[in-house]
Amino acid sequence: MKILIIEDEEGLRESIEEYFTEAGNICETAASYAAALAKVELYRYDCILLDITLPGGNGIDILKKLKANNYTDGVLIISAKNSLDDRLQGLDLGADDYLVKPFHLSELKARVSAIIRRKMFNGSNVLNFNELSIDLMAKTVAVNGTPVKFTRKEFALLIYFISNKGKVISKNAIAEHLWGDGIDLVNNFDFIYSHIKNIRKKIMEAGGKDYIYAAYGMGYKFADQ
């Protein structure tokens, strides 16, 4: 996968680059409007992470250029402006998704993966991981071909894990992904554990492997070790 990160804030840009760089991924970065424009004119990407406020210009204009040239790069807008207008404008202009700062890198990765999946599978939308086969449209999971019933949250969590496979995901990130921003009443995320336990149990009962590892009480990691 080829990803372009257009973000002027160095700290954030580096973190995203580091998080996304792994086997099979190529990450390029641009820190200004001019640099970003030069890159999108020359190369095509699977997904472009686009900051709206850039030195030298507005990220929305880059999006317009892409669409004017009929480039099919996936575009995810990352912005500090949580304004509905920006969001709607961005999506109207053909951005695939919109994420407001601050966000968890795992959330960003999940969103980017979803965009790339949509582009690559052309609507078939079945996600395979070893013996697991997940139909994203029908929202069903099969282990070695045997259908396994997952609840809405378990399903969402499983996809989140697979999108971030090999990464430690903090409990905060999981909670925000499943329950949204409203979940500020809990400092102990014990109830996440019950979902994870269920996922493990269901996969293993259907003959699958246990891929979920607890990471020092901070979070969980989905990996095929």
Partner 1 sequence: MKLSERYNRVNLIATIVIMLITGAIYYQAISLILTNQKDNSLKVEEQEVFDYVKLNHHLPQVFASKDQQITFISAEPNSVKREFFNTTYYREKDEPESGRGLVSSVKVGDRYYKILIVESKVETEDLIQIIFGITIGVILLLLLVLVITNRLILSRLWQPFYSILSELKLFNVTDSREMPSPNTTIDEFNELQAEVTAMAERVKKDYKDLKTFTENASHELLTPIAVINSKLDTLIQTENFSEHQSKLLNDLYSAVSRLSRLNQSLLLLVKIENKLLNDRQHLDLQELIDDLLYQLEDIFNDKEITVISTIGEKEIDASNYLIEILLNNLIINAVRHNRTNGEIIISLTSQNLTIKNTGEQVALNPENIFTRFHKASTSEGSGLGLTISKQICESLGYQLVYSYEELYHIFTVNF
Q: Which is nearer to partner 1, 143 or 157 (CB)?
A: 157
CB nearer partner 1, residue 22 or residue 41: 22
Give least dist CB 220 to partner 1, A: 11
Residue (58 or 82) nearer to partner 1, CB = 82
Least distance (Å) from partner 1 to the CB of residue 70?
30
| Separation between Cα atoms, residue 125 and residue 193, nearest integer Å | 28
Would you say 116 or 173 has its CB closer to partner 1?
173
Q: How far is the CB of 97 from partner 1 (least distance, A)?
A: 16
User: CB-wise, 68 or 181, nearer to partner 1?
Assistant: 181
Q: How far is the CB of 59 from partner 1 (least distance, A)?
A: 14
Shortest Å, Cβ 219 to partner 1: 6
Q: Kindly list the residues in this chain that would bind partner 1 in the complex (CB under 8 A).
A: 9, 11-12, 15-16, 18-19, 80-85, 101-106, 152-153, 167-168, 170-173, 176, 179-187, 190-191, 194-195, 215-219
